[in-house]
A and B are shown apart, each in its own frame.
Chain A
Amino acid sequence: MLGEFEYVLLTAAAGLGDKAYGAAMREEIEATTGRKCSLGALYTTIDRLEAKGLVTTWMSDATPQRGGRAKRMVRVTAKGIEEAKEFYDAVMRVSRGASWVVGKTGRA
């Protein structure tokens, strides 16, 4: 099963589609989670996901707005989508009845 950050990263990459690369994914993750995301954590997690066959990456052409540097593009594979969906379903199942879920009351 995926880890929490792996799921967040897969979701960000899937949401960005063809525009998924390091800086854009970091911005997306920081905006949605409200937490800082280091490039070290980002790129090592991308490597791990790639090793598991959940994403593919490739280097794009260099662009002037990046100081002539290339981007490392990320695309979620079919297996990655399947794993992310499994994680999401598991979180939804385990959350049923929890007090913080909208429309539910806690048992404690």
Chain B
Amino acid sequence: MVRLDWRVVEGAAGLLGCEDREAVLGDLVEAGEGAWRGLLDVLGLVVRRQAELWRSWRPWVAALGVALPFSFLLMGFSVSVSLGYRQVTLHGGWLGLAGRAVLLVVLAWASGFVVGSVSRRTLWVSVVATFSPCLFCLARFRIASLSRGCLLLFVLPAVLGVWWGLRGRTVGAGVGLMLALGASMGMGLWGGWWVNWFLVWPVWYLVVLGGGDEKAYPRG
């Protein structure tokens, strides 16, 4: 039976990649190390591995360039779709609302895709960078006619995009181009605030990936 302190060491080793975990835990068992030194060894390697990852541009772009700012923009877009729904129930205009809703789904999915494919093993930082603004805005949400959940309409498609990106998938160049052109046209029609145009570039990133060499695709 594995002792509790070794379970802690094994739990910490879960932060390592598969081969690192296998080699390090085996080394500790073979050397007959105590759990305390074993834990220090494992955590030391975890910290070094994370530090190495942050020497690349990828986690910085994913967390600070996409996850954090896009979280604010997508929350704003989610609220505008929700307000649109309120107006449509009174004055009609379902087509425009449907267009905005589809646009939100595509933009959120593409943003999630970029975060998933670029951040890789630093995804947890991008997740924190996404949800910190959400918590901030949820705490200050003051629109009486809408529920707070309206802020988070983008979350589900974004999570699906992250999952897609982490699995190293992409879409074909043709599909990507259609999505990108559709999203750009949709942004022209229903985008609202000009800053929302920044939300379109992840969709064009899909086009670039889809048109590139499969082997050039960034993997974790």
A-side interface residues toward B, CB under 8 Å? 21-23, 26-27, 38-41, 43-44, 59, 62-63, 65-67, 69-72
Contact, CB under 8 Å: B41 / A39: yes
Q: How many residues of B contact A (CB 8 A)?
A: 22
Cα distance A44–B46 in the bound complex, in angstroms: 10
- Of B47-55, B115-123, B166-174, B180-188, the stretch lying at the interface with chain A is B47-55
Cα distance A26–B42 in the bound complex, in angstroms: 14
Contact, CB under 8 Å: A44 / B52: yes
The residue among B20, B31, B52 with the most chain A CB atoms within 10 A of its own CB is B31
Contact, CB under 8 Å: A38 / B41: yes
Contacts of A66 in B (CB 8 A): 26-27, 29-30
The residue among B20, B24, B30, B41 with the most chain A CB atoms within 10 A of its own CB is B30
B-side interface residues toward A, CB under 8 Å? 19-20, 22-31, 40-42, 44-49, 52
Contacts of B30 in A (CB 8 A): 23, 65-66
Contacts of B45 in A (CB 8 A): 38-40, 43-44
Contact, CB under 8 Å: A39 / B44: yes
Contact, CB under 8 Å: A26 / B31: yes
Contacts of B20 in A (CB 8 A): 43
Contact, CB under 8 Å: A23 / B31: yes
Cα distance A59–B47 in the bound complex, in angstroms: 23
Extra contacts besides A23-B30, A39-B28 (11): CB < 8 Å? A23-B26, A38-B40, A38-B41, A38-B45, A39-B24, A39-B44, A40-B41, A65-B30, A67-B29, A69-B25, A72-B19
CB distance from B145 to the nearest CB of A (A): 55
Contact, CB under 8 Å: A43 / B24: yes
Contacts of A23 in B (CB 8 A): 26-27, 30-31
Contacts of B24 in A (CB 8 A): 22, 39, 43
Cα distance A65–B23 in the bound complex, in angstroms: 13
Q: Can you name 10 A-B residue pairings with CB atoms under 8 Å? A: A22-B24, A23-B26, A23-B27, A38-B40, A38-B45, A41-B44, A43-B45, A44-B48, A63-B26, A72-B23
CB distance from B88 to the nearest CB of A (A): 56
Contact with A22, one of B23, B40, B49 (Cβ below 8 angstroms)? B23
CB distance from A31 to the nearest CB of B (A): 12
Contact, CB under 8 Å: B41 / A22: no
